[in-house]
Every structure is written in structure tokens, then in C-alpha cells.
Structure 1
Amino acid sequence: MTRIDRYILMLYLRTLLICFCSLGGIFVVFHAFSNLEALAEHAEAKGGFVHAMIDYYGPYLLVIFDSTSPILALMSLLFTIGWLRQSGELTSILAAGVRHGRLLQPMLIAALLIVGLGLVNREWVLPHYRNKLGNRPNVDAATAERPLQPCYDRQAGVLVEGKSLITEGKQLVNPAFHLHAAYPGFGSQLNARQAVWRPADEQHPAGFLLNDVARPQAIDELSSARLNDRPVLFTSKDNAWLQPQQCFVATSVDISMLEAKGSSKKYTPIFDLMRRVRNPAVHTSSKVRVDLHARFLRPLLDFSLVLLGLPLAVSRGDKNLFVLVGHAVILVGMFFGIKSLAATMGSSGYLLTPPMAAWVPILLLSPLAYARYRSVQYV
């Protein structure tokens, strides 16, 4: 790496940091002023206002980076080239025989690293904080109740419902398990005060442990029930590890499948999405399948956006920075328009299957991105 490469790289990274801090600062200021009372309560619980701000807004800054990283990478590249042009440094560098393609190389490598960092942030960092997203500052994510989306287990014949769920505690509040299969003596529904998710162990398969069962009332007098030689309902009469008024329901429907739409569900790890798609006991919507394929292809699509904007940086036409930014905004709008249209068509099953809905933007934009990348190499 030459001295010019290091200079351009530092200028690019500094521009990227300024752009990100500007976006993040605007969000934090507007959100904080509309939630001052809740922030004051959160600061009192955390022992300081600064600590409370970092604890609450840290995950949101990660969300902003996830949503805007390819746009920031492109805009920072344009701003860096615009600055070099305005200061006259670009003319000097080009006069020394350095081509635009060589000049852009360190920034493209940095943009590729940013796309990779976005992948790590999206799949490994954000899932740890997703329960904090969407809550008010004074709400404890460990005890916050979230909306519950019913899910049907086709293998067990059980529809899992309830009032709400507590994600971090893996609990259902006031669960109501509708029994669509024939379980003699259990009736058509199991009601309890609480249900807690338990992974599989030596005593039972994975499922929910129901505490304080109210329906059926004589739960302790009922024997455990099976469906197609598969144990589904466990009672204390046959299982010493269960306490009175407890019942265990074996099901492959876990907490992540019961989360309603929102930030918590949006940032589900890709491995959980894969597990859901492969689960034969539950129905997987076309939208979930589109999201799964799109998550695999997103790094390539994000980097394609950066390559698509390269000709704007070396344009020999109007070199006004604001005009170039306007063209970049139009380009970004077209990019996300194609991406959103394909995802909508795949989710609704109109013309495109879920895998094709994820691949269509790649097939349309990647060849064009490569052609635009090649077009600036010898300019």
C-alpha cells in the first residue's frame, strides 16, 4: 500500500465515520427528546445518563449501520472523490499517471470490508440485542411482554396460542394450547398460567412446560398421551419429574416461531430461519423463505450497489457534488425499488418463487455492476 493509498483510505474512512455519526446523531436527538421521561427513569436505574444512553441507543446504532452500510459506503466514496476534486488533489494525482481505477482500489477494498462487517453485525451481533429493540427506555427487556403470533404444529396436532410472550425468559403468558388431534380425556384445549420452553433432554423431547394448568381441571389424574407412537402430552401421573398441576407438551414450535412481526422477529439469526424452513411440523410462509434466500445473497447485492455508483465518481460531465449526490439518490432508489418489487412478488407467489425473488436482483444488477466497474478502470 502506497502513501497515496493510505491517505485516500483514511480520508474515506473519516468521511464514512462522519456520515454514520450524522445519521445516528439525528436519530438519537429526535428520539431522546420525545422520550425524556422514560430516559430519566432508565438513567436512574442504570446509575447515570451516559450509561443509560449507551445501553439503550447502542443497539439502535447497530440497526442504523445494518440498514445504511451499503449506502454509506457509496456516499462516502462519492464525497471522498468530490473532496479530492474540489481541493485540486485529484488533478495532481491523475497528472502523475494514476488512473481512476487505481485510485478507487483502496476505497473499494474498504467498502468490501464494510459489507463484511455488516454481515457479522447482522448475523452475530444484532440477534443478541434484538429483544431490546422496540421497547421504551424504561422497559426491562427481560420482563417485557411481546405480542404472540399463533403457530400450528402439524405433527402434534397442537395450535400454540397465548396472551403474550417474554422472549428472554422463553415464556408464554396465559398459554392456550388447542388440541386438534384426539387426546382422550384432555378435551380440546390446555390452559395454564404460564408455559416455559424447555430443550430436549433425557426425560423429554423439546417443548413447553405448562405451570398451574387450569384446563382440564383433573390434569394430575390423566395419563400421558401419544400421537402416532410419538409422546406429546406428559402428566405428573406417569412422570415423576413433573409437579402437580404441571403438564409438558412436546412440540417443535419454539419461542422464535411465536414472535409477531417487529424488530425482535426481523433480526432472527439466519440459523433459526433455516431451522424453521426445514421443520416439517410448521408451515413456513413464502415471505420467510424469501427473507432466508435474501440474507444469503445480501452481501453480494450490497457490494453491487457500490460498484453501480462508480461511474458517478469519475464522471467527466457536471462535477457539482450535489448533482452527483442527487444522481446517487436516484440510483439507490432504483436499486431498492427492484429489490423490494422482487421480494413482494416472491412473498405473494406472483410470477416468482421465493428463491427466484432473491436471485432476480442479483441477476439484473450484478452484471451491470461489473460492467460499470470495468468502465472506470482505464478512465
Structure 2
Amino acid sequence: MKFYKTIDFYITRKFLGTFFYAIGLILSIAIVFDISENLDEFISKDIPLSDIIFDYYLNFIPYFANLFSPLFTFIAVIYFTSKMAYNTEIIAILSSGVSYARLMRPYLVSALIIAVFSFVLGNYIIPPANSTMINFREKYIRTRQINTERNIHRQIEPGLYIYMQSFNSNNVGYHFTLEHFEEAQLKEKLTAQNIRWDEESGKWIINSYWKRIIHDDYEELTNGYRMDTTLNMSPKDFTQLRNEMETFITPNLIKEIDLMKMRGVNYVEWVIEKHKRLAGPFSAFILTLIGAGLASRKIKGGLGLHLGLGLLLSFSYILFMQISTVFAVSGNTPPFVAVWIPNLVFALIALFVYRWAAR
């Protein structure tokens, strides 16, 4: 028995054709709206057409394609399955002895193709595309927002900790402390009025400092007005560009999270980004099962009601994802739970709809 028959190719062609047509249509509309919004900027700043096309819009497309992927997966399934149901094609297939579970095979294969498409985009293509697009905006349209920190505690090396009351965009940190521990015992402590990064020498300049060295039976105290030194840290460790995590491909994102954990940096948003990239592709399977289950039966209201239900559930899924993410950022929910719980809830809904449709 063939794994994939003519009817399977027919359903797959319908599914993927509708999906990519819908994505292409919404991308065309999104590009037109974006051009109308930014046209004055493009003209007034005399931005080269090649930069607009290749640095901006060519990188704009994969981002929005992936953003709308869950919504249009659902709409595509609802649309073509509902048309098949009202043309009695679904009834004919099931009447020929094909089980509902077997009918779902081409749907799930199509969902797998979309999931792989979404995974590759989200984890490996969109991050460098985002970086290019952000650099374009920063170069021609507006300066990128930089977030600086206060009350900074970091472990810059094993046993070596720093503290700064604040660090500003001029690469100056105030009320600086450097502590060296060995086997949980404080061995050295340096306090300074401020610390400044010198771009030319690639060193830190510590101003107005006191240094305390603790020996077994006595302490040594020294002070000075200036010290040039190298430390395993750089200004970018204390400033964060807005949405910077969106420019890292996933392997590099994971490495950055591990580094942030070691240094004691708040990395919650980065972990959320990692889990969103992994959880997102699974929505293709969940929404496909729900959409196929709802649309495979004739109901009063026809295609319009099917599409209405589809849009309601799609937006409910997206809203649920956003709300749970907010809880994770605020620290009320672990990032893994916050990102995956919408998939879990809608997977249960998909199971219910599947059993209802298979009766």
C-alpha cells in the first residue's frame, strides 16, 4: 500500500497552495502599507533604492511570513476543507472506506512542511535578516534605542564579582566595586568613584579608588587616583539594544543565555525568545487539526461561519500567547511554562475537535 496516494497529493496541493497564496497576499498588502508609511522618509533622506529593496524589504518578507504563519495555516485549512465539505468531497472520501485518521495524513504532512518552513525561518533566517533591517533603520530612519542598567551585579569570571550603581551611554559606571573570592572567602576588594571604558586602549580606567587585600593575619589597604586595567567585561555587557535577542540565530542565542546566567544578568526575555522559536512551529499541527475538524462537517452558515470560527480561535491563540509571555517577563511564570502552555491548552482543544469530527 502506498503511503501517499493521489488524494493525499490533492489535499496537500490544496493546503499548501492556499497557505502560500494567502501569505503572499498579506505580505503584498503589508509591503504596500509599509511603503506608504515610510515613503516620506525614503524620499527626504535620499535612501538608495537598492538599499530599500535588498537591505529592508528583502529582510522584511521572512519576518512577516513567519509572524502570520499560524494565522494563515488555520485560515488555509478552514477555507479549502470547508469548500471540499460543501462539494461533498469529504463525504465521498470517507464513504470509500478511508478512516478520518487516514484522511488526516496529508493534513499532518502539510503541517510538517509548514512547521519546518517556520522553524528554519525563525531560528536561522530571520535573525540575520532582522539585524540587517535594524541596521538599515538605524542608518537611515531613526537611532536604535539603548537601554542602560542600574544597580548592576555581575560575575565576570569565576570568583570575580563587580557592582555598579549605574552605567550610562557614555560608557561610565558610578560607585564601582570589584570583589575577588576564593573558596567563598573574600580576598580582595576594590571600590572606586567611577570606572570608564577607554575605546582607544581597550582598557578600563578606574578613578579615585581604594583597594583592600586580605591576608591570613593582616589586611593591606592602598589607594590611588587612576588605574588602567583589563577586565573580562565590555560596555555592551551593561547596555542592551532594544530587541537585540531577535538578531541572534538560535545556537548563538543559547550561548548568550548561558553567558548571561554566569554573569547574573536578567535573561528572562532571551529565554522567552528561545522557547517561542521552538514552540511556534508546533502550532502548525495543532491549528491544522482544529481547522480540519471544524471544517470537515457541513454546518449551517457555511464557509463564512467556518472562517469566523477559525479567526476567533486563531486570535484567541495569539492573544493567549501574548498574555502568558507578559506573565513570564514580569517573573510570575517560568518562561518555559508561559510559552508552551498555549500550545498545551490548544492541543487539548485539538484532541477534542478531532474526536468530535471522527465520530
TM-score, normalising length: structure 1: 0.70
Aligned partners of 1:44, 1:288: CA distance in 2, in Å?
33
Give, in angstroms, the shift of residue 28 of structure 1: 0.4
Match in the other structure for 2:162? 157
Which residue of structure 1 lines up, in the alignment, with residue 176 of structure 2? 180
Picking from 186, 190, 194, the partner of 1:189 is 194
Aligned residue identity for 1:370 = L
CA distance in 2 between counterparts of 1:97 and 1:85 reads 17
Contact 1:209 1:249 in 2 (8 A): no
Residue 223 of structure 2 is matched in structure 1 by none
Q: In structure 2, the residue corresponding to 1:157 is in which secondary structure?
A: strand
Change beyond 3 A, Cα 1:40–1:135: farther
Give the Cα separation in 1 of the matches to 2:240 and 2:355: 45
The size of the alignment, in residue pairs, is 327
Paired with 1:33 and 1:309, the residues of 2 have a C-alpha distance of 34
Give the 5 Å matches for 1:321-332. Answer: 321-332=303-314
- In the alignment, which residue of structure 2 is the partner of 1:276? 257
Which residue is 1:209 aligned to? 202
Residue 325 (structure 1) shift: 0.8
Q: How big is the shift at 1:67?
A: 1.5
Task: Report the alpha carbon displacement of residue 314 of structure 1 after superposing the two structures with TM.
Answer: 1.3
1:304-340 residue CA offsets vs partner (Å, 9 max, x unmatched): 2332333212133225112111111121233233333
Structure 1 alignment gaps of length 5 or more = 164-173, 196-207, 229-236, 239-245
Matching residue within 278, 281, 285 for 1:303: 285
Higher RCO, 1 vs 2 (CA within 8 Å, ≥6 residues apart): 2
The whole-number CA distance in structure 2 between the counterparts of 1:227 and 1:113 is 62
> Letter of the aligned partner of 2:319 in structure 1?
G
Taking only aligned residues, the RMSD between alpha carbons, in angstroms, comes to: 4.0
Aligned counterpart for 1:342 among listed residues 310, 317, 324: 324
Rounded Cα–Cα distance in structure 2 between residues aligned with 1:137 and 1:339: 28
Higher strand share: 2
Query: Does structure 1 retain, via aligned residues, the 8 Å contact 2:55–2:136?
Result: no
Q: Which residue of structure 1 lines up, in the alignment, with residue 342 of structure 2?
A: 361
Amino acid at match of 1:314: S
* Structure 1 letter corresponding to 2:245: K
Q: Given the alignment, which residue of 18, 27, 35 partners 1:15?
A: 18
Distance (Å, rounded) in 2 between the aligned partners of 1:42 and 1:97 = 65
Consecutive unaligned residues of structure 2, counting only runs of 5 or more, are 156-160, 180-188, 215-225
Which moves more between the two structures, 96-105 or 20-29?
96-105
Residue 373 of structure 1 pairs with residue 323 of structure 2: no
- State the shift of 1:32 in Å: 0.5
Q: Say whether the 8 Å CA contact 2:193–2:207 is kept in structure 1.
A: no
The equivalent of 1:166 in structure 2 is none
Could you tell me which of 245, 251, 271 is aligned with 1:265? Answer: 245
Q: Give TM-score scaled by structure 2 length.
A: 0.73
SS for the counterpart of 2:67 is: helix
Q: In the alignment, is the contact (CA less than 8 A) between 2:15 and 2:76 conserved in 1?
A: yes
| Residue number in structure 2 paired with 1:122 | 122
Structure 1 range deviating more: 297-306 or 109-118: 297-306
CA distance in 2, matches of 1:257, 1:293: 24
**Partners in 1 of 2:108 and 2:146 — Cα distance?**
43
2:232, 2:118 → 1: CA distance? 37
The reply on whether 1:52 has 2:46 as its aligned counterpart is: no
